[in-house]
Amino acid sequence: MFASESIERHQALHVDPDWWRGAVIYQVYPRSFQDSNGDGVGDLSGIIHRMDHLAALGVDAIWISPFFRSPMLDFGYDVSDYRDVDPLFGSLGDFDALIQRAHDRGIRVVIDLVMSHTSSSHPWFKESRSSRDNPKADWYVWANAKPDGSPPNNWLSIFGGPAWEWDGERMQYYLHNFLADQPDLNFHCDEVRNELLDVARYWLERGVDGFRLDTVNFYVHDKQLRDNPPLPPEEQNDSTAPSINPYNFQDHLYDKTQPENLEFLKRLRKLMDEFPGITSVGEVGESQRGMQVQAQYTLGDDHLHMCYGFDFLSNAFPTPERIAEVMERFNREAPDSWACWAFSNHDVVRHASRWNLSDAAQRAYAGVLISLRGAVCLYQGEELGLTEAYVPYEELQDPYGKRFWPKFKGRDGCRTPIPWVGDSSNGGFTDAKPWLPMAVEHLEKAVSHQDHDDGSMLAFYRSMIALRKAHLPLQKGSFEAVERGPKVLSFIREHEGAQVFCAFNLSDEEQALTLPAGDWFRDRGAPFTVKETGDGYVLPPWQALFGLANTAAQET
């Protein structure tokens, strides 16, 4: 229905089929971006209304968190209809208008596709649970109880407790890696795989430019339902789940990341390749073998385009040594792969608070992120310098937070509404009571306060994104670490003979700096302060230097 029109639009927009290599992608969490109809919840029309903000920021694409029909128990990640927009967010017509508006502004649209599970209110699950011999009986992961009535194995849910829920209608357990209301689809079933590929085709024909694939390594489970072994305490961490969650006590060998998943990813890539300029970003939730999985999932040109890792989404502070180690390990373990790096998203504490960064430190680390090899994902509000908001228990919405309160307060603190206007109690987000409270401390960081201030955080992000776009090495170049700390991180990005030297002072003290051997000069367009001396340069606290070589070859 939309195939010919969408292909024509793609051909006009995607001159570079590899646009995603080095792209800056902005994550929109629609519930909290902009409310257009006064119900206190953001929607698709609100995104359209704020498209000029995204265009001025200079991003290449937006990633929109789920907007499909859903009972919203996990706020859209529990899908009840893959082919429709939830009325809370608008209509299919609104989505088509959003695609058109974004493309008109040169912005691509990536949507969050949740394939590993559905809502328990999805018609597929209702039919599947009705009997053991209906046409969709094996569309979900069902298993008999042990003789004593206990679950089939020891698998755990990320949201706490066993990953199995008893269903009195079928008299069996079903698997749920997340909420009990989010039953896992059975990817060992041919019909399930075919149906999900048809879902992907439906949105490609509507004009989307790619998919962010939620929990992409959770698709396939071990058919034998073998128990996961325990994980030694020294290997337990909180990169996939909070440290208080017993999910971290297991080595998840069998409940996810199964080899059969690769065949499905190949079929998905083959489908995407029918459309020009499409990309895919797989979210790999894997603590022990993350980079190996990323390498497998992006191998060659017949798997995913890139993976979204968790290396910089954890609590571990990103020292110069750690950043260099992560990048070099990725080069070593996934040399032919492309990463998508992020510091914040809708599932973790905002990095400004998580790492306790000052305003100056936020800018320095943003400079690092936007200079790394790989695509960059910015989470809404990051460009304003938003910190984690406090949401009292009585206003908490997130089931994850309610489950582990108060030691883990959930994900609502990073999901509060975006402040557009500083002189309004709701920040211009809505005229009604917002679904989550507007953080009072965020109002002083509103877009209206920063938009025309050349010294603002927003202006800084615009400048850094423009700097990245001005130099191909920063978009598509290789990465070679030069200095790994303890206070300075420096590296060289190189592409087709052109080089950019990037150096960051990630400390509260001045640091002397010497450019590498060769013919370099400083890019004075970078939004940082540098002191020049007779012997080289001095970087004030939390400042950076960008050195250029062979600049004639770097013009884009």
Q: What residues act catalytically?
A: 214, 274
How far apart CA 108 and CA 46 sit, in angstroms, is: 17
Phi, psi of 52 (to 5 degrees): -65, -35
How far apart CA 115 and CA 110 sit, in angstroms, is: 15
Going 74 to 101 to 444 to 540, the CA torsion angle's sign is positive
The set of residues, in sequence order, having a beta carbon less than 8 Å from that of 29 and lying 6+ positions away, is 42, 65, 346, 379, 380, 415
- Would you state the structure tokens that stand for residue 133, as one six-digit string? 């011999």
- Would you state the structure tokens that stand for residue 482, as one six-digit string? 């030069």
CB of 68 within 8 A of CB of 76? yes
CB of 362 within 8 A of CB of 344? no
Quote the radius of gyration of the chain (alpha carbons, Å): 23
Exposed, middle or buried: residue 32 (CB in 10 Å: 0-12, 13-18, 19+)? buried
Distance of CA 555 to the CA centre of its chain: 30
Q: What SS3 state is found at 464?
A: helix
Going 265 to 305 to 176 to 221, the CA torsion angle's sign is positive
Angstrom distances, CA of residue 334 to CA of 109, 282, 423, 480, 481:
27, 15, 48, 15, 17
Residues across the chain: 556
Residue among 14, 100, 99 nearest 64 (CA): 99
SS3 labels along 51-109: HHHHHHHCCCEEEECCCEECCCCCCCCCCCEEEEECCCCCCHHHHHHHHHHHHHCCCEE
In 358-442, the DSSP E strands lie at 375-379
Residue 387 per-residue DSSP state: P
Residue among 12, 344, 346, 369 nearest 209 (CA): 12
Residue among 94, 40, 67 nearest 427 (CA): 40
Going 367 to 474 to 485 to 533, the CA torsion angle's sign is negative
How far apart CA 212 and CA 108 sit, in angstroms, is: 13
Residue 168 per-residue DSSP state: T
